[in-house]
């Protein structure tokens, strides 16, 4: 076994902002998308909910592509709970159950340090397996918005994509602008303090991937 695929699951309250995420039929259902995606990889349909996640327009989760690839190539999958509302009903590694907060109201991830520490330990243990490469994927509704917020804080003039063909970029920017105003910072002001950017605007998936990547000393591919 040369490669191992990790699916890191995360939730953020940002996904429940109306219109910002289509990773679920409704904003409330985005809370269940990560665990449903993980369960769907191993079963004919998710166990937590009885249908595969869809967008408000009825388009199915991208997990169908991962599932098809896994069935074709038969590669090993390990699910990692970085921080979700519920635990997936499949075997998984538990890092935390911390949810990313709505960063307009306060720091998004006060627990970032503990999450990174635990995930790093996990990454270090993976060095003992006969694998040369980790391929890390994720399921995090609202994650393109948290990613854009962190990138802006670090000084990148970035625009992230969306699961929707109609990317709600204007809404993302308004929400991020409110968060920056709350935190009292402007674009690029945290370029020398990436962990503070993660604490203020990130999500548990990000912290988990940071920790795993720090601990695993061989090749890491962010899928």
Q: What residues in the chain have per-residue pLDDT under 50?
A: none
pLDDT of residue 163: 74
Alpha helices, DSSP H, located in the chain: 33-42, 63-73, 112-126, 143-153, 169-183, 194-201, 204-215
Residue written as tokens 């910002």? 20
Q: What is the torsion angle, in degrees rounded to the nearest 10, for the CA atoms of residue 191, residue 83, residue 213 and residue 20? A: -50
Prediction pTM value: 0.95
Domains, the chain, in order of start with CATH, read 8-222 (3.40.50.10210)
pLDDT of residue 161: 86
> Cβ-count burial of 121 within 10 angstroms (0-12 exposed, 13-18 middle, 19+ buried)?
middle
The pLDDT tens digits of the residues spanning 160-175 come to: 987 777 788 999 999 9
The pLDDT tens digits of the residues spanning 34-65 come to: 999 999 999 999 999 998 887 777 788 889 99
> In the numeric block, which tokens belong to residue 5?
């695929």
Compute the distance between CA of residue 43 and CA of residue 103 in angstroms, rounded to an integer. Answer: 35
Compute the distance between CA of residue 29 and CA of residue 175 in angstroms, rounded to an integer. Answer: 20
pLDDT of residue 40: 96
pLDDT of residue 222: 97
Residues 78, 5 contacting (CB under 8 angstroms): yes
pLDDT of residue 12: 99
């Amino acid at each position: 076994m040369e490669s191992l695929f990790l699916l890191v699951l995360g939730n953020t309250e940002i996904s429940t902002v109306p219109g910002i995420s289509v990773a679920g039929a409704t904003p409330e259902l985005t809370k269940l998308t990560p665990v449903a995606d993980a369960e769907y990889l191993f079963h004919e349909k998710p166990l937590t909910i009885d249908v595969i996640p869809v967008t408000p327009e009825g388009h199915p989760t991208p997990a169908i592509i991962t599932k098809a690839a896994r069935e074709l190539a038969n590669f090993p999958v390990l699910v990692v709970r970085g921080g979700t509302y519920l635990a997936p009903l499949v075997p998984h590694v538990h890092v935390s159950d911390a949810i990313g907060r709505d960063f307009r109201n306060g720091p998004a991830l006060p627990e970032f340090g503990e999450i990174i520490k635990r995930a790093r330990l996990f990454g270090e243990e993976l060095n003992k397996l006969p694998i040369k490469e980790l391929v890390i994927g994720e399921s995090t509704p609202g994650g393109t918005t948290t990613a854009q917020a962190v990138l802006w804080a670090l000084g990148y003039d970035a625009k992230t994509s969306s699961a929707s063909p109609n990317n709600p970029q204007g809404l993302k920017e308004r929400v991020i602008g409110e968060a920056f105003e709350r935190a009292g910072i402007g674009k690029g002001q945290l370029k020398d303090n990436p962990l503070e950017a993660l604490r203020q605007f990130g999500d548990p998936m990000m912290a988990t991937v940071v920790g795993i990547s720090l601990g695993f000393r061989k090749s890491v591919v962010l899928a």
